[in-house]
Amino acid sequence: MTALLNCTIGKLLEEKAELHTDHTAVIYSDRNLRWSYREFDSICRKAAKGFMKLGIEKGEQLAAWSSNTPEWLVTQFATGKMGAVLVTVNTNYRTAELEYLLKQSDSTTILLMDIWKDSSYIDMIYEIVPELKNAEPGKVNSSRLPFLKNVIVLGDKKYPGTFSWEDIMLLGKEVTDEELNRRMDSLEPDDVINMQYTSGTTGFPKGVMLTHYNIVNNGFNIANCMKLTVEDRLCIPVPFFHCFGCVLGTMACVSVGATMVPVQDFNPKKVLQTVQDEKCTGLHGVPTMFIAELNEPDFDNYDLSTLRTGIMAGSNCPIEVMKAVIEKMGASEITIAYGQTEASPVITQTRTDDPIELRVESVGKALPRVEVKIVEPGSNREVERGLQGELCTRGYHVMKGYYKNLAATNDAIDQDGWLHTGDLAIMDENGYCKVTGRLKDMIIRGGENIYPREIEEFLYSHPKILDIQVIGVADEVYGEEVMAWIILKEGEKATAEEIKEYCMGKISKHKIPNYIEFTESFPMTASGKIQKYRLRENARNVLAKH
């Protein structure tokens, strides 16, 4: 069995730059950007020194709010060199979500695009931090975000109170290589280096603290399971802000010296073009992405003959989609992965030579050096093979904990180090697992995790709403859609459109309930607990009549 890697992210990249000096590390096909491992390492060092010049210390939080830009990628490895904790921000976030994340994470720095799709990130940051417009760059003094000091904006345009990316690279010249090397030498593999926000069905999103050791090794073992080597070129259209992009994608590549071929924003045509033009051997995606690619009208005109491997994850994979990916796209060794952010993230994965039935009906078996067991929910008693229970896991991949939330950490990880996933699963006699449901009420819409409580908490702020329950309902396109059951205050009237309008610009579009039903009461147990399963039954009846 392969040994675990005992190094930091920064040292890992340095090692690969020495080993594969002139080998291509990064390709952005649409902007004709190509960096060798030596060039990529050098650029990451410059950015790391720039962050140090800003005064960012080891263990400080730096938030990145951007799609899959080269700067995001550089920041991932630059922070890995100088020790700042990279806080990944969902590109769909709006003001309320962003403010919560920056406040809860104690981020001192945020790096952001000025505009993404139809959203002005710069307007949102000015709304949350009005003091920024009159501040000197690096000296933000925000009443709402007392920790925030630096705002870095990507792009050519200069904005009041902010640094540009170019400023950071220039500032890096004022820090010596020796200073950076000393900082790199002071980092330990067990230091927290990445923080991603996730939540259960109770409370607000929690900051999952992941260490160098967690994600370097998870990436390395994922790469081995999909037989990724220095010869491979992996197309990465999944978002960097998610573990899928920055662990299964970038970390897996760097761990073996493979070439990263990111797609900045998912577009099926662009993905197919990139695979063809750059002769990619691997491709990542959630099932909805693969479906969009397969249904692209010009699909047959693209040459995908180089495709071999990749990962499909994020939600259940329909067998017809898997067959089409293997037969029509030629990715005969595509694998399925399952996990959660708290496990940095992959727990189980199918192998390249598994039969198609296993690659569709299961989520694979434990990664090397990862333990998995199925227990009776609410206990540590293991169930017999073939029986359903809660999937638990233990090993190098389990998070350090939730940031500033010891109670939630202790709820998730028991005294013996087992992470309780909250997912129901069955394990067969060969160790292959099938995920059968969720103890939690999380909704998975097109591979995006949506947490009902977060939407409920937000909609409680609507002046007409007395009570609200959010559930997931089946959807042919996205797997699940969001539905809200609402009780209005006495004497109030409202429409579904009015509620949706209230959400626009404040929470991510994919979290805005697609279906809204008004009701007088919720089904409850004798002890007053709301029965969400009954709401789901009611929803099926209501939607059947639509």
Provide the β-strand partners of residue 450.
443
Q: Judge whether 69 and 89 are in contact, CB under 8 Å.
A: no
The overall average pLDDT reported for the chain is 94
Does any domain span residue 539?
yes
Residue 335: both structure tokens together: 């694998």
What value does the mean pLDDT take over residues 168-177? Answer: 98
> What phi and psi values does residue 212 have, to the nearest 5 degrees?
-50, -50
Dihedral (C-alpha) 429, 433, 436, 439: value to the nearest 10 degrees?
A: 110
CA dihedral 359, 361, 366, 372 (to 10 degrees): 180
End-to-end CA distance of the chain: 55
List phi, psi (to 5°) of 165.
Answer: -60, -40
For residue 215, tell me if it sits in a domain: no
Percent pLDDT > 70 in the chain is: 98
Determine the pLDDT at residue 202: 47
Q: What is the pLDDT of residue 527?
A: 42
How far apart CA 471 and CA 455 sit, in angstroms, is: 10
Neighbours of 62 (CB within 10 A): 24
Contact partners, residue 64, CB within 8 Å, separation at least 6: 72, 75, 76, 86, 87, 88, 89, 110, 111, 112, 240, 241
> pLDDT tens digits for 349-388?
999 999 988 888 899 999 999 999 999 988 889 999 999 8
Kindly report, residue by residue over 269-301, the tens digit of the pLDDT. 999 999 999 999 999 998 889 989 999 999 999
* Cα–Cα separations (whole angstroms), residue 313 to 283, 316, 436, 459, 497: 12, 7, 15, 30, 33
The predicted structure's pLDDT at residue 104: 97
End of a domain among 187, 222, 252?
A: 187
* Residue 204 forms part of a structural domain: no
Q: Are 436 and 426 in contact (CB under 8 A)?
A: yes
Which tokens belong to 250? 């970038």
Rounded mean pLDDT, 521-540: 77
Region 222-230: what's the mean pLDDT? Answer: 97
Q: Does the residue 448 lie in any domain?
A: yes
Please compute the mean of the pLDDT values over residues 329-355 and round it to a whole number. Answer: 96
Least Cα distance to 180 among 301, 317, 51 occurs for: 51
Torsion of CA 118, 121, 123, 125, to 10 degrees: 160
Q: What is the pLDDT of residues 231-261, one digit of tens each?
A: 999 999 999 999 999 999 999 999 999 999 9
Mean pLDDT value across residues 151-180: 97
- pLDDT tens digit sequence for 432-471: 999 887 776 778 898 887 878 789 879 988 999 988 999 9
Q: Which of 187, 209, 237 is the last residue of a domain?
A: 187
Q: What DSSP state is assigned to residue 408?
A: H
User: Rounded to an integer, what distance in angstroms lies between the CA atom of residue 247 and that of residue 240?
Assistant: 8
What CATH number is given to the structural domain containing 51? 3.40.50.980
Give the 3-state secondary structure of residue 402: strand
Residue 42 contacts residue 169 (beta carbons within 8 Å) = no
Largest CA distance in the chain: 71
The CATH number of residue 461's host domain is 3.30.300.30
Structure tokens at 434: 């099938």
Residue 263, pLDDT score: 98
pLDDT at 288: 84
Among residues 159, 187, 215, the one where a domain terminates is: 187
For residue 244, tell me if it sits in a domain.
Answer: no
Q: Would you say residue 484 lies in a domain?
A: yes
The whole-number average pLDDT for the span 490-512 is: 95
Check if the beta carbon of residue 394 is closer than 8 Å to that of residue 417.
Answer: yes
Q: What are phi and psi of 476, to 5 degrees?
A: -65, -35
Judge whether residue 264 has pLDDT over 80.
Answer: yes
Between these two residues, 490 and 328, which has the higher pLDDT value?
A: 328
Q: What share of the chain is helix, strand, coil (3-state, %, to 5)?
A: 35, 25, 40
Task: Look at the chain and report how many structural domains it folds into.
Answer: 2
Contact residues for 304 (Cβ-Cβ < 8 A; gap 6+): 272, 275, 276, 329, 330
Q: Which residues pair with 208 in a beta bridge?
A: 196, 402
Task: Give residue for tokens 């039969």.
Answer: 355
Q: If you average pLDDT over residues 75-88, what whole number do you get?
A: 98
The pLDDT confidence band at residue 121, using thresholds 50, 70 and 90, is very high
- Which helix (H) or strand (E) segment holds residue 184: the answer is helix 177-186
Predicted confidence (pLDDT) per residue in 55-66, tens digit = 999 999 999 999
pLDDT tens for 412-431 read 999 999 999 998 899 999 99
Q: Is residue 518 part of a domain?
A: yes
| Residue 47 lies in domain | 33-187
**Which pLDDT score, from 0 to 100, does residue 203 have?**
57
Q: How far apart are CA 386 and CA 174, in angstroms?
A: 61
Tokens 């994600």 belong to residue: 215
| 133 found inside a domain | yes
Strands (E), 165-232: 192-198, 206-211
Count of C-beta atoms within a 10 Å radius of residue 126: 18
Report the percentage of the chain scoring pLDDT > 90.
81
> What's residue 317's pLDDT?
77
Q: What is the spatial distance between Cα 24 and Cα 279, in angstroms, rounded to a whole number?
A: 13
The structure tokens listed for 196 are 């991603």
Can you give the pLDDT at residue 490? 87
Rounded CA-CA distance 336/324 in Å is 15
Mean pLDDT in residue range 43-56: 98
- At 337 the pLDDT is 96
* Burial class for 294, CB neighbours closer than 10 Å (0-12, 13-18, 19+): middle
Q: Is-contact 445 481, C-beta < 8 A?
A: yes
d(CA 183, CA 176) in angstroms, rounded, equals 11
Name residues whose C-beta falls within 8 Å of residue 9's C-beta, 6 or more positions apart in sequence.
Answer: 76, 77, 80, 81, 193, 212, 215, 216, 251
